[in-house]
Amino acid sequence: MTEADWDDSDDDWGDDDDAPSETVRCPSCGADVYEDAEQCPACGEYITRTHSAWQGKPLWWIVLGAIGVIATIAVLSAL
């Protein structure tokens, strides 16, 4: 084997310098904050993430879901 066979200059060895980092807006000041950050570096406020099943759903979607649950319970109780 020659030295050219061992040329690994184009290999990635875990360098994440080019990797795009996800950012979100701070709810207090609106600055861009890394997704994994606990605190905003601009204003110092803690970043809280709420993951609710109802978050972002329109009212009609919630009402339709509730009607579906009630109808299912009514049908199953009639059996």
| Residue 19 falls in which region: left (phi positive, over 0), alpha (psi -120 to 50) or beta | beta
As averages over each run of 10 residues, the pLDDT of the chain (79 residues) reads 56 52 83 86 81 78 93 91
pLDDT at 79: 77
CA-to-CA distance for 33 and 2, rounded, in angstroms?
48
How many angstroms separate the CA atoms of 9 and 63, rounded? 59
What pLDDT sits at residue 36?
84
